[in-house]
Amino acid sequence: MSVKDTLFRSKQLTPLSHEHYEGLLFVWRIRQGLKRNASIRTINDFINCFWKNHLPSHFEDEEKKLVPYLPVNDELSKRMMREHEAIRKLLPDNRNLTFADIDSFARLLHDHIRFEERELFPHIEKGLSLTQLNDIFDKIDHQSACSTEWKDEFWKG
């Protein structure tokens, strides 16, 4: 993978990459909260808020608007689906995660986002035609679902 592959994203996948940035910021905030011994309950509430307001719609965009353009046995799309499922299993509605669960979730989400940005998206950009990429762009949500009413900046200590 070249430096160019890690720095540039096609216009068509940029909305999803922006959401990935928000996801990485979310993970950073969780990790900072853990380092600063923030309330586990508060971090759980933050995770549940992000889950409710962001991740399901983001996963749906990727699963229903990217995957159909890839070959049925595409290994990278299969990996994405497996990782989405693993994340879903960690986050049933309003589950109270332990410190270890939160740490595992943050690691899994971070690594998943990095995989998509470094491997899956370049694979899609190289493998699909401009027409297909434009079709994806027309189908995905361009409004970030990340904005919430969350006020407690527990990550600042």
Q: In b/e form, how buried is each residue of 66-84, taking b as 16+ CB within 10 angstroms? A: beebbeeebebbeebeebb
In a domain, residue 78? The reply is: yes
CA–CA distance, 107 with 101 (Å, rounded to integer): 10
Q: Is 7 a member of any domain?
A: no
Q: Compute the mean pLDDT over every residue in the chain, rounded to the nearest whole number.
A: 89
Task: pLDDT band for 3, please (50, 70, 90 cuts).
Answer: very low
Burial of 1-31, coded b for 16+ CB within 10 Å and e otherwise, reads eeeeeeeebbebbebbbebbebbeebbebbb
Does residue 65 sit within a domain? yes
Q: Lowest mean pLDDT: which of 17-26, 87-96, 98-107, 130-139?
A: 87-96
- Is residue 150, in this structure, part of any structural domain at all? no
The residue among 3, 1, 33 whose CA lies nearest residue 153 is 33
Which residue segment(s) compose the domain that 67 sits in?
Answer: 12-139
Residue 79 covered by a domain: yes
- The model carries a pTM of 0.89
User: At 2, is the pLDDT very low, low, confident or very high (cuts 50, 70, 90)?
Assistant: very low
Q: What is the mean pLDDT of residues 42-68?
A: 92
- In a domain, residue 6? The reply is no
Would 84 be classed as within a structural domain? yes
Q: Is residue 148 in some structural domain?
A: no
Average pLDDT over residues 74-94: 90
Domain count, the chain: 1
